[in-house]
Amino acid sequence: MKKIKKRTGKRPLKRLFLVNYLAITGLLFAVITISLISMDFVMNRFLVKTPDFQQVDAKDLYGPSGTLNGDWPVEYGGWLELVDESSKVIAVNGDKEDDIMSYPGDLLYAKMDPYRNDDSIVYHVYSVTGPNGEPYVLLWKIPEPFGMTLVALGVFAISCIVLLVFALYFYTKYSVRQVKQPLQQIVEGIKEMERFHYEKRLDFFAEQEFAEIRDAFNGMAERLQVASAEKETVENNKRNLLLHLSHDLKTPITTILGYSHLLLDNPETDHNQQRKYLQYIHDKSSYMSQLIQDLFELAKLDDQHLKLNLERVNMTKWFQQKIAEYYPEIEHKGFCLQVDIPETPLYVMMDSVHMNRVVANLINNALKFNPAGTTLFASCKGEEGRVVLCVGDSGVGLEEQDKKDLFEEFVRGTSPVKDGTGLGLAICKKIIAHHEGTIELLTDPRYSTLFRISLPRADGDN
């Protein structure tokens, strides 16, 4: 089963959105700044003919004889005014577009201040000296055409739109890529779930909310995969159960029918032969009765609502009694008994009837499938809050291929003795599971077969 290690997300989505908003705001400022620079470049380079005023000297506009040179205003627009000491306009060169003939008070300074000038006329001021040494002020007044203002706004708007479209396109492409990959994987994962491919897992590193979705999806997929595997196992077990059941019932039924027909068709059969036939019928009937009883027991144990009659039992004393009950049969079979059961009380909560079935099955199997001289081993001990029982023998042991499915239904192993139903150990495992315990087959150099049963100790028992 494929497992993906849980990873935390990079950051919450709200932080991602906040970063995006800040980035978009920064893009807007950058676009406005670049658009203003572009507008200034286009207007000054291609649309508006403006001289480099740092290179224009007063001598280029005012001659030594006191005459105004209108060549520059003709080329770049506007007109020249010469203002004397009394702030009166004494000379004009070019097409004057206002009616100001004097600048009383601080009017001239107000006109030169762009924040107080509302005439849309730009003033360029030069200090010059008249023919007789009198101080004059030379004004080059250039009107700002309204049409150029609209053009400048148009250039600015077009630059903003173009730059904003490109900036948003590439930034959106970058931003979408951050959420596109997890969303694509989520959609792909959902489609795989629809196809019942529960082994699919999501594996990406994204924002916190996407990481939560990823972990929830992987958890759901893992549970579905386990449930699907369990369902498939149940279906296989059901098919195997029907197959084995039909096989195990067919042979004894055929035997019973055959011998019963012999008795019916040959009523004059001698007494010894009749007893032989009746013994065959009795043995097969007993086998079928045991098989049906085991199947009924197995069905009851599969019921999750089954309630055991749990009692607080001293396991050491109970186990000693069980071994003592089997001692005559152990001695009759020629087995050696080795017991390691302490006198110290070890308490567990158990159903004595069901647990008796477990111990009886293990001991009976050892006695049935092993020759005389075999050592039968039984032990009981406390171990880290649990009580551990061991039942084993030094007999013929089990083949390696039999150990894997030993606790499955209808598994009999490769022993030549085949009079069991193959359900005993499966029933034992389910009984132990209902007691919240475990049963397993151990590998031990002293014993060819050794079963270990672990049960939780009763509350209050250390």
| Residue 416 pLDDT grade (very low, low, confident, very high; cuts 50, 70, 90) | very low
Structure-token pair, residue 185: 């994987």
Give residues with Cβ within 8 angstroms of 368, minimum separation 6: 417, 419, 420
State whether CATH 3.20.20.20 applies to domain 311-456: no
3-state SS class at 457: strand
More confident residue, 193 or 178: 193
Q: Is the pLDDT of residue 237 over 80?
A: no
Compute the average pLDDT of residues 70-84: 87
- For 245-261, what is each residue's pLDDT tens digit? 676 677 788 888 888 88
3-state SS class at 10: coil
| Residue 221 pLDDT grade (very low, low, confident, very high; cuts 50, 70, 90) | very high
Which residue type sits at 396?
Answer: V
* pLDDT of amino acid 313: 94
Q: Any bridge partners for residue 285, and if so which?
A: none
Q: Are 159 and 40 in contact (CB under 8 A)?
A: no
Compute the average pLDDT of residues 335-342: 94
* pLDDT of amino acid 112: 83
Give residues with Cβ within 8 angstroms of 313, minimum separation 6: 347, 348, 349, 350, 352
* pLDDT of amino acid 399: 83
pTM score of the predicted model? 0.50
Assign 3-state DSSP to the chain and report helix, strand, coil percentages, each to 5: 55, 15, 30
Q: Which helix (H) or strand (E) holds 362?
A: helix 352-369
More confident residue, 380 or 252: 380
Sequence length of the chain is: 462
Q: Where are the beta strands (DSSP E) in 153-283?
A: none
* pLDDT of amino acid 321: 94
What strands lie across the sheet with 336-340, from one edge to the other? Answer: 336-340, 375-383, 386-393, 449-456, 438-442
Q: Is the pLDDT of residue 7 over 70?
A: no
* pLDDT of amino acid 417: 46
> Of 77-81, 209-213, 221-225, which gets the smallest average pLDDT?
209-213
Least Cα distance to 63 among 91, 30, 27, 95 occurs for 91
* pLDDT of amino acid 441: 92
CATH of domain 208-302: 1.10.287.130
Q: Are 103 and 112 in contact (CB under 8 A)?
A: no
